Every structure is written in structure tokens, then in C-alpha cells.
Structure 1
Amino acid sequence: MADLTLYGRSYCHLCEDMKIALEPLRRDFSFVLHEVDVDGDAATEARFGERVPVLTTGTPAGAGDELCHYFLDVPRVRAWLAAQAISQYGSP
């Protein structure tokens, strides 16, 4: 199963929009969505500042690649999830 991490803030409407926009992808792909409130840790807040939401690959503990920020890049996220499914199962 693929891991994605959404960095955001509880009061951020763009963060909520990105989370909602990810849900339709669950019809085609299995993934775990980890949510991190950037205001919960000084280092994370310094890393992202006002640049949220940010969606990355991997878990919060891993150093994942950024897939998109501010708005969900559906084609890019879909392509990444498909690649993960192929590498894990041989087909999406």
C-alpha cells in the first residue's frame, strides 16, 4: 500500500480541499494518507511556512518527494500511485 503525507493546517481551507480531492483516487488505488499539522512542530512549521498544503510521497518519518502544493495535481498523483501499484503488484 502506498503512503502519502499531507502537510497542512487545521484552519486552512486549501488543505481541506486537497484532502477531499484525494478521496476519489481511493476508488482506483489503495493508499494511506498521513496528515501532519505543520503548526504542531517548530521545525515542520519552519520547513513549510505559509506554503501549505503540500502533498508528499511516503510517511512523515520518511523523506518523500513533493507531488504538489496548494492544489492537487491529479494526473501527477494518479501516475505516482499507478507506478506504486505496478511495482508492488505487477498491475494497478
Structure 2
Amino acid sequence: MPALMLYGRAWCHLCEEMRAALEPIAARHGAAIEWIDIDQDLALEARYDELVPVLVLDGAELCHYRLDAEAVDAALAARRA
């Protein structure tokens, strides 16, 4: 099962919005969403600080700030092939 890595912050409204919009897409593809709070890791905070939320699949960034549903669908479909 593919895991979408969602990097964000607990207090970030954009992170909450992306997670909510991502859930039905992930469910449709049988993908899990792994939430990572960047404030719990100094290296992640330094890397993603003002970019959150950042969505990553297999090490490749799919989108940040706002969900790109088409990019996520395409990446998950390509991973199945």
C-alpha cells in the first residue's frame, strides 16, 4: 500500500485543508496518509518551514500549500501500473 507523506504543523489551517481534501483521493487508490509534524524534528522544520503543507510520494514532492488533486491521482495511478 503506497504511503503519502504529509508534512505539516499541528496549528496550520492549510495543512488541515490539504489533509481533508486528500483523504478521499487516498481512499480511492488504497493509499495511506502518514502525517508528519515538522515541529517535532529540527531537520524537517529547517527543510519545510514555510512550505507546509508538503505532500510527498516515494520521495517526490507532489505539491505544497494547496492540494494538486490531478498530480496526486496521476502519481498514485502510475505507481499502480
Give yes or no for the alignment of 1:83 onto 2:67.
Answer: no
> SS state of the match for residue 6, structure 2?
strand
Partners of 1:27 and 1:44 in 2: CA distance: 26
Residues 26 and 33, structure 2, Cα contact 8 Å, conserved in 1: no
Give unmatched runs, 5+ long, in structure 1: 59-63, 87-92
Q: RMSD in angstroms over aligned alpha carbons?
A: 1.0
Partners of 1:57 and 1:23 in 2: CA distance: 14
Moved more, 28-37 or 64-73: 28-37
Partners of 1:28 and 1:42 in 2: CA distance: 33
Report runs of 4+ in structure 1 exceeding 2 Å deviation.
none
TM-score by length of 1: 0.83
State the identity %: 51
Correspondence list, 1:1-92, <5 A? 1-58=1-58, 64-86=59-81
Partners of 2:52 and 2:26 in 1: CA distance: 22
- Cα deviation code 1:24-77 (max 9, x no counterpart): 21442111111110000111100111110000013xxxxx01000000000000
Residues 27 and 5 of structure 1: CA distance in aligned 2, closer, same or farther (over 3 Å): closer
Partners of 1:70 and 1:22 in 2: CA distance: 13
TM-score by length of 2: 0.93
Give unmatched runs, 5+ long, in structure 2: none
Partners of 1:48 and 1:12 in 2: CA distance: 13
